[in-house]
Structure 1
Amino acid sequence: MVLLLFVDLDPALAALRPLGAFFALRTTGAPDPAPPTLARTYENQASDVYGHSITFRIRKVGEALHAPEPRIAASIAHQALAARLWSVALGCAVHYGRIPDLDPRLLDWDPDGSAPDDLWLSAVRPLPGDAATIAAVVLQGHLEPLAALLHDHHRVATGLLWGNAASALTGAVRQLGGDRARALGAELLAHPLLAGALDPVTLRRRSCCLYYRLPGSGVCGDCCFTRAPRSSAHGASG
């Protein structure tokens, strides 16, 4: 039997900082005026500064990467935000034994920022660090409404989006390493929203994030394709 020793969440979530940019989460110093919350983003509410935040982010990513169509930028922006949320939750679960409440109403998101400067948590409220709580907070609280928004307003296939979510989860688990991270990852991959998104043996995706369609790029390490398809018709995979 392994005895796990955990500490309380500290107000600055300092244990996340050494883990890298995607794990760090700011709890102070949000810009003034504060950027829109993720709750407003998922509800597709317009702000005075950015208009519709997700559309602003997709345009920003598309311009930076010279994406030939918005759907590719939408997929990449989605995977990056999914990776941020998984990393914060799993990093806290592993290092604190608890996670902060990541309610979308508590998270300010700057669609013009870049990790780790894009998210601010307005209050640190501890929750259990088990897989069921992480699933409720990240999958159901964030990735489900985000997937609905991107599917309905930006024509991104839901299979592609859940593939992104599963891929981002396994990436965070690999970065953390250790038995606890792997156990949490395995439980989360069995969740109905993610089950089947990856090959259970190889952890390769069963969909494509469309990254290969960017100029000068190739396929990702866990892509369903072993080489970039010649026909752009494959870009709809998901």
Structure 2
Amino acid sequence: MDARSLLADVAGFGPFFTLGSGSGERPLADAELVRDRIERVRGALRCAERVAASLAFQGFAAQLASAPYAAAVVHGAVPALGPATVWWTRAGDGGWTPRTNGTAVVGVDELPALLDGLLAPLVGAVRAQVPVAERLLWGNAASTVAAAKRLLVVQRPAAAGRAAEVAEAVLAHGRFAGTGELLPPRDPDLVWTFRRRSCCLYYRVPGGGLCDDCVRLPPPRSGPQGAATARQGSGLPDP
């Protein structure tokens, strides 16, 4: 299968797994687009700019990481996405959706480095707009990988082992490493549940709260600490 076929197939898992084919209107880390997304989030949630920047990036990461991750799990191949081949185009609701004009495919072992390289320019673009901690943003990226695992496994329980293996490889790689730990699974997770070592700041949104994987949640009261832990520790982001 080429990249277009892979992406068309995994789009069936849901909107976060939809990454279209063809060229778009704006390059991957376009400054104006990043500013537009941050302002849209800030206006919709009535939150501080730093909170909006964090949550805007989390949306970017989910849109970019979920489809190649699912392709790796389900098909054992990954669309060769990169900053030069991924574009954004306006959606019907005024937001932005990703597209790729690449057709090449690489092996599953390339996924961790591919996602690291794909998201790094957006981390830089967001931080150029708003002074938000780099480690916080990579924690957001790791959280989206764990969320993609959860969503995929809910629909394909038989793929739980493979889904956990692929996600674990990503979470141990490069700038993902150290962003969280793997704990015994909580429903609907299978194999393990991810707990991050930073906070996305959603609790600062009016009416917001803590995400299921937030470092601010009380730790489990009993039981082992999980099958694996990330290598490098990280505390809460600067207030």
TM-score interval (norm. to shorter): 0.7 to 0.9
With the length of structure 2 as denominator, give the TM-score of the two structures: 0.77
- Using the size of structure 1 for normalisation, the TM-score is 0.77
Q: Distance in 2 between matches of 1:19 and 1:117?
A: 19
* Structure 1: runs of 5 or more not aligned: 1-7, 45-51, 228-234
Which residue of 138, 141, 153 maps to 1:165? 141
Instruction: Give the corresponding residue for 1:206.
Output: 197
Partner of 2:179: 197
Alignment partner, residue 207 of structure 2: 216
The 3 A distance-change label for structure 1 pair 62 and 116 is closer
- Once the two structures are TM-superposed, the CA of residue 98 in structure 1 deviates from its matched residue by 1.1
2:124 corresponds in structure 1 to 148
Instruction: State the alpha-carbon separation in 1 of the partners of residues 202 and 4 from structure 2.
Output: 37
1:36 maps to 26
**Paired residues for 1:113-192 under 5 Å:** 118-130=97-109, 133-140=110-117, 142-177=118-153, 178-192=160-174
* Structure 2, gaps ≥5 residues long: 154-159, 184-192, 219-235
Structure 1 runs, 4 residues or longer, greater than 6 Å off? 111-117
1:60–1:112: 8 Å Cα contact kept in structure 2?
no
Kindly indicate whether the alpha-carbon contact (under 8 Å) linking 1:199 and 1:205 is maintained by their aligned counterparts in 2.
Answer: yes
Asked whether the 8 Å contact 2:90–2:96 carries over to 1, the reply is no
CA-CA distance at 1:148 after TM superposition: 2.4
Report the alpha carbon displacement of residue 153 of structure 1 after superposing the two structures with TM: 3.2
C-alpha spacing 1:116/1:72, structure 2 compared with 1 (3 Å):
closer
Tell me the CA shift for residue 17 of structure 1: 2.4
Judge conservation of contact 1:16–1:25 (CA < 8 Å) in 2.
no
| Residue 199 of structure 1: how far off its partner (Å) | 2.6
Greater strand fraction, Structure 1 or Structure 2: 2
Aligned residues: 206
CA distance in 2, matches of 1:168, 1:225: 18
